[in-house]
């Protein structure tokens, strides 16, 4: 297991502790996903002068569990013309990549528990930022292949839109992060957080980068106002039109977990990670992530969906040049100052 | 101004979080139905206890959904059920077919059948939706709130009335 220890950058931490932490983090992320759906429905409801779900349990708190039971108990049918293997496995690809991505995001300073070193992250890969983008791009396969394999025109159109949108906005997303990487001088997220501790939160010097990151990230996770891949009025539901039951559940789970990961990444890169006064690290991390998630929900209720040509124009003609100029200027400033 | 307009929109949605939702929580709060609401049917009796229905089957003839079944029988001196010559021995309404148009109410020469306020008539079985004469004659178990008739039955239409 020595190679594993070295590869995960464990800094003197026994490998089995990383395993335990991985299990805890995965479950916490799943829990967060379940209640994010409830929070989203509640907040959106209040913004639209409704109550939101309030029937299952006190204040509707059991709603995610009710939804889960309902999804699991549904009959898992699929279209006769679907390509079976791909149809069944693509939700797993999407869910797997979404869940894996969270492992490199740091959420605490690291502790000494019962004589063992426990780090505040699951794995500190030297190229963690690249890993996140690579896994995000792999996750797109789950969406595209699933839409293609279900043999429906709506699914295919939805997956094509997803593909085009994710490819367009991934460029801006990566470029917006470049400024932070240049300032921190490292691709490791742990190092980025440490660098923000010494200097300032990178929102202040990299405000443009932060804006571009949030906008491109909204498009990346296909959230309103960039939710064209699943525009209900035109495409029934996008790439998961033919999916039902827990397979659909996995897709929706991977979307929400991508959103959580994106917020976690934004917190780590721009908002000082888990650093903050008085409260312990993980709590600060959760608080900041929650604020960003609220921002995404808020955006969803407020803004209407873009037209497809507007989306492409915004991505290529506004976001990409701004991100590029931001990266170049940051590079020049880093070199000369 | 474009960016500020968008920000104003964000302000509007945020303000609405703190307003009271306008939702009416249905099973706990039942909004009063209009006085002329056409819900479940009822058969009526005269003050002396005799049924108003004389088994003429005009309601069944008027029914566009063909959901009323009436079988009439003669009243005798020792067995008098209705005020007329005959009475409805069987009177059934299949509520799973009924479209609640109210034509039966209009067709009835004795005002024996009316459409009342009750609208919660879902059942687990279709058979349970066939209402017999006893069920239609009985006092309704559920009491639905009905809005004040004065509010609506006025010479001034409600949408013109100042309120």
Is A15's pLDDT higher than 80? no
Tell me whether B2 touches chain A (CB under 8 Å): no
Is A57's pLDDT higher than 60? yes
pLDDT at position B162, please?
62
Sorted by sequence, the CB contacts under 8 Å of residue A276 that are 6+ apart come out as A284, A287, A288
Using DSSP, state whether B27 is helix, strand or coil. Answer: coil
CA distances from A243 to A66, A79, A208 (A): 19, 9, 39
- Domain hosting B43: range is 30-148
Dihedral (CA of A14, A18, A21, A23) sign: negative
Over the stretch A290-306, which tens digit does the pLDDT of each residue have? 999 999 999 888 888 88
Interface contact flag, A303 B12, Cβ < 8 Å: no
Mean pLDDT, chain A, whole residue set: 83
Q: What is the mean pLDDT of residues A184-196?
A: 82
Residues of B in contact with A51 (CB under 8 A): 21, 23, 25
Tell me whether B125 touches chain A (CB under 8 Å): no
Strand partners, B94: B130
Three-state secondary structure string covering A74-126: CCCCCCCCCCHHHHHHHHHHHHHHHHHHHHHCCCCCCEEECCEEECCCCCCCC
Q: How confident is the model at residue A103 (pLDDT cuts 50, 70, 90)?
A: confident
Over the stretch A125-146, which tens digit does the pLDDT of each residue have? 788 888 888 888 888 888 888 8
B133 within some domain:
yes
pLDDT at position A1, please?
45
B155 within some domain:
no
Instruction: Provide the domain count of chain B.
Output: 1
Is B1's pLDDT higher than 70? no
Give the predicted TM-score (pTM) of the model. 0.79
Least confident of A243-257, A273-287, B34-48, B141-155: B141-155
- Domain hosting A123: range is 2-336
CA neighbor of B41 nearest in space, from B128, B114, B97, B98: B114
Interface contact flag, A301 B6, Cβ < 8 Å: no
Residue among B13, B20, B21 whose CB faces A298 most closely: B13
Tell me whether B76 touches chain A (CB under 8 Å): no
Task: Find the residue in A nearest to B10 (Cα).
Answer: A302
Instruction: Provide the domain count of chain A.
Output: 1
- Between CA B118 and CA A182 the distance in angstroms is 71
For tokens 């001088």, the residue is A185
pLDDT at position B94, please?
92
* A115 vs A39, more confident: A39
ipTM of the complex model: 0.71
Residues of A in contact with B16 (CB under 8 A): 46-49
> DSSP code of A230?
G
pLDDT at position A100, please?
86
Q: What is the CATH number of the domain that holds B80?
A: 3.30.70.3270
User: Half-sphere exposure (CA, 13 Å, Cβ side) for B101?
Assistant: 16
Residues of A in contact with B20 (CB under 8 A): 49
Residues of B in contact with A294 (CB under 8 A): none
Is A9's pLDDT higher than 60? no
Q: How confident is the model at residue B62 (pLDDT cuts 50, 70, 90)?
A: very high
CA neighbor of B130 nearest in space, from B23, B40, B19: B40
């Amino acid at each position: 297991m020595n190679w594993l220890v070295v590869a995960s950058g464990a800094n003197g931490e026994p490998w089995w502790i990383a395993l335990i932490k991985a299990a805890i983090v995965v479950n916490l992320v799943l829990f967060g996903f379940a209640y994010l759906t409830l929070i989203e429905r509640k907040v959106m409801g209040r913004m639209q002068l409704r109550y939101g779900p309030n029937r299952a349990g006190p204040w509707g708190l059991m709603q995610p569990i009710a939804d889960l039971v309902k999804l699991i108990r549904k009959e898992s049918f699929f279209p006769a013309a679907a390509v079976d293997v791909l149809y069944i496995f693509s939700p797993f690809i999407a869910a797997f990549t979404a869940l894996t991505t969270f492992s490199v995001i740091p959420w605490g300073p690291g502790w000494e528990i019962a004589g063992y070193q426990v780090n505040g992250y699951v794995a500190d890969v030297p190229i963690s930022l690249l890993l996140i983008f690579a896994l995000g791009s792999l996750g797109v396969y789950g969406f595209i292949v699933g839409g293609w394999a279900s043999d429906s025109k709506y699914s295919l159109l939805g997956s094509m839109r997803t593909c085009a949108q994710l490819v367009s906005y991934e460029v801006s997303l990566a470029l917006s992060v470049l400024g932070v990487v240049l300032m921190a001088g490292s691709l490791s997220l742990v190092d980025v957080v440490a660098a923000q501790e010494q200097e300032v939160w990178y929102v202040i010097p990299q405000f443009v980068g932060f804006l571009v990151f949030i906008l491109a990230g909204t498009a990346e996770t296909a959230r309103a106002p960039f939710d064209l891949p699943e525009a209900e009025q035109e495409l029934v539901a996008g790439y998961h039109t033919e999916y039902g039951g827990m397979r659909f559940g996995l897709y929706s789970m991977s979307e929400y977990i991508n959103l959580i990961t994106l917020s976690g990444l934004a917190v780590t890169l721009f908002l000082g990670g888990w650093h903050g006064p008085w409260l312990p690290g993980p709590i600060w991390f959760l608080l900041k992530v929650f604020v960003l998630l609220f921002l995404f929900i808020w955006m969803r209720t407020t803004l209407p969906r873009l037209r497809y040509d507007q989306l492409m124009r915004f991505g290529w003609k506004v976001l990409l040049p701004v991100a590029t100029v931001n990266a170049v200027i940051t590079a020049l400033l880093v070199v000369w100052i | 101004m474009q960016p500020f307009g968008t920000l104003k929109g964000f302000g509007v949605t945020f303000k609405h979080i703190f307003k009271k939702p306008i939702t009416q929580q249905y099973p706990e709060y039942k909004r009063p139905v209009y006085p002329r609401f056409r819900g479940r049917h009822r058969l009526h009796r005269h003050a002396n206890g005799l049924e108003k229905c004389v088994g003429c089957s005009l309601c069944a003839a008027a029914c566009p959904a063909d959901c009323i079944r009436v079988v009439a029988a003669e009243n005798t001196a020792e067995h008098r059920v209705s005020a007329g010559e005959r009475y409805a021995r069987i009177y059934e309404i299949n509520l799973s077919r009924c479209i609640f148009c109210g034509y039966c109410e209009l067709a009835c020469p004795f005002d024996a059948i009316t459409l009342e306020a009750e609208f919660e008539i879902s059942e687990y079985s279709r058979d349970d939706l066939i209402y017999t004469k006893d069920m239609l004659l009985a006092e309704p178990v559920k009491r639905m709130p009905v809005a004040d008739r004065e509010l609506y039955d006025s010479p001034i239409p409600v949408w013109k009335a100042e309120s």
